[in-house]
Amino acid sequence: MISHVHHKPLVSLVGYCITGSQNKNMEFHLHGKGQPTMEWPTRMRIALGAAKGLAYLHEDCKLTDKSDVYAFGIVLLELLTGRKPVDNKSPTDHHQSLVTWAMPQLIDRSKLNNILDPIIRDKMDLKHLYQVAAVAILCVQPEPSYRPLITDVLHSLISLVPVEIGGSLHIT
């Protein structure tokens, strides 16, 4: 079904390579060694684009929604923390899952700054970061019925992203 979908935020997948110098995906830019890192506007542009694509799939094609919302929440956590979804190099099982590691710190606003990617720490409006963290928390709820609809996520993010990168926030 997904191969028949045509929409602006979605592209056809012809092929994919994860080796060599052609790997220029989000993982490369967030976790690649010695590579340029993504600034907050780029991270939010990715989040907004992914939310738009998922909203289209859920609202117009009736594909699965709650599992996609969970996966989107993981992407938001990656964008916030700069960490991989699963850390295989962790010495304990406690730190292997990004959700397990981040959740206790996301719930306590005073600890949010401690888990932010150092590249974006101290460069962002804390109010916006709290709101993005709140959206991420909702998306990764263990019980699917507690997760928001992707359209609700999209509306939450649009108000946090400046107009010039696809949102509705007017910066004065």
**CB contact at 8 A, 116 and 80:** yes
pLDDT tens-digit series, residues 42-94:
888 888 988 888 787 777 767 566 778 998 999 999 999 999 888 777 665 55
Token duo for residue 90:
């962790």
Between CA 21 and CA 143 the distance in angstroms is 39
Tell me the sheet residues that pair with 86.
Answer: 97
Kindly list the structural domains of the chain, giving each domain's residue range(s) and its CATH number in brackets, ordered by start.
Answer: 2-165 (1.10.510.10)
Render pLDDT for 95-151 as a digit per residue (tens, 0 to 9): 578 999 999 999 888 999 899 999 988 888 888 889 999 999 999 999 989 999 989
> What is the pLDDT at residue 19?
53
CA distances from 80 to 20, 67, 100 (A): 26, 20, 15
Query: Is-contact 65 22, C-beta < 8 A?
Result: no
Looking at residue 63, what is its pLDDT?
A: 58
* DSSP bridge partners of 83: none
DSSP 73-122: HHHHHHHHH---SB-TT-SSGGGTBHHHHHHHHHHSHHHHHHHS-TTTTT
pTM above threshold 0.85? no
Alpha-carbon 61 to chain mean position:
22
Catalytic machinery residues: 60
Give the Cα separation of 60 and 140 in Å (integer). 23
